[in-house]
Structure formats: structure tokens, C-alpha cells
Amino acid sequence: MLKHTKKRSTIKRKHQRMKQHAEENKAKALDSKQLAKEYEPYNIRKRAFETFGED
């Protein structure tokens, strides 16, 4: 008996979804990096580390 396999169109749709999610995640990562840069002067942990690290 033949083994049941998924149709090519189903696989294509899955790959398209995966690609779309990857692009969305990449955009979110860039946004969070940009936000981190903007709020860097307000980062208390970093300032505390710099002041205690100078000893």
C-alpha cells in the first residue's frame, strides 16, 4: 500500500506561514532593539553597574 503524503499545496502554505511569522518576529526584534537604544539613558541597572564598576 502507498503511504499517505501531504499535498504540495499544503506544504507551500505551511512554508508561507513560517516565512511570514519569521518576518514578523524579525520586525519585533528590531523594534525592541530600537526601544532599548532610546531608553538606554534611563536604564538604572546599567548606570549602577557603571558607577560600581569604576572602583
d(CA 35, CA 45): 16
CB distance 46 to 40 below 8 Å: yes
Mean pLDDT, residues 8-14 taken together = 91
As a whole number of Å, the end-to-end CA separation of the chain is 75
pLDDT, position 53:
55
Mean pLDDT, residues 8-16 taken together = 92
pLDDT, position 50:
64
pLDDT tens sequence across 13-54: 999 999 999 999 998 888 888 888 877 777 777 666 666 655
- Which pTM value belongs to this model? 0.48
pLDDT, position 34:
84
